[in-house]
A and B are shown apart, each in its own frame.
Chain A
């Protein structure tokens, strides 16, 4: 009798200790991939074209020239997104730096031409755009790009792409034009 009760207690304790926390159970459905591949989840896919780093960013908005400086480095990622079954607005983009800190896409550059946060991906129409981030220079190794419909997705797809470390130094100025960088 006693051993059965102790055994049951031990089993229940093991089950309770290994239950994933609520945030994981109701959190993102994650798909992981590398920069060289097209990484696909159930609802959308990402193909990274280029990753550029620069000390300042320049573009034209309503004819006015905008020049953005930073205490760190700007990282611009050009990516192609595709939706499979349904319209997907990909609004959440985060760069996880080498220290594990999460840098969300910069709203300072939110009105630059071609930025993905203003675009909605329709099924059958691949969409290319820019994701702009601002981070300290020592966070640029082993970065991961995380994309989803919203920040902190709940039972929605999230794609995580490991970015190759760029060995070259950041360029002094990155100009964003309507037709590309």
Chain B
């Protein structure tokens, strides 16, 4: 009778130990995952501030800003939409990837303008709308945001540059692709008064 009780106690003892180990393993995995997430978040908070004419490497694009201004007309000579103002940022833009691309729409975001859509880009060389940029051929381009005319504009335009990184084999299709990286740089550009021509 006593032997049976002892055997049962050792069995429940074993079961209790197994449960403890399983719980501890799960807790360890969760805490490692949490620690890594916190570590990543901490790293990403530091965003470098850049000056005018400093090149910024954003993965697929390299951009260096020249200046920003309020424009009287679009860079291709077209009129600004009625009831709107046009903010023009001029820059040098280079395609760092291995293929012609026109995916620069999400590259630059203004942080102190009320919600703006993606900017329209113009090629300064042709004074026309920008289509694809070819690899290893930097061009002077201008980005134009149209905001309603009654919006108060800041003296200094703050812009964020969003970066991307390249994965030769992604997790879903095993195919190459570019994925968002987060903000890689910020710049403050003084917003000049009305100009009729933007200088590259």
Contacts and interface: CB of A to CB of B under 8 A. Distances in A.
Interface of A: 21-23, 68-72, 94, 100-104, 106-108, 110, 134-136, 139
Contacts of B139: 71
B138 interface: yes
A69 B175 CA distance: 36
B134 A134 contact: yes
B137 A23 contact: no
Contacts of A100: 98
A94 B174 CA distance: 23
B134 A22 contact: no
A144 B169 CA distance: 25
A22 B173 contact: yes
Interface of B: 98-100, 123, 125-126, 128, 131-132, 134-139, 169, 173-175
A108 B137 contact: no
A28 to B, nearest CB: 13
Contact of A101 (B99, B123, B128, B169): B99
A22 B170 CA distance: 11
A102 B174 contact: no
A107 B132 contact: yes
For the complex of A and B, the 10 pairs showing the least CB-CB separation, nearest first, are A23-B175, A107-B131, A104-B100, A21-B174, A102-B99, A101-B135, A101-B98, A22-B173, A136-B136, A71-B137
Given A69-B125, A104-B132, A107-B131, A21 B169 contact: yes
25 contacts: A21-B169, A21-B175, A22-B173, A23-B173, A23-B174, A68-B126, A70-B137, A71-B139, A72-B134, A72-B137, A101-B98, A101-B99, A102-B100, A103-B100, A103-B134, A103-B135, A104-B99, A104-B134, A106-B132, A108-B123, A108-B126, A108-B131, A135-B134, A135-B137, A139-B136
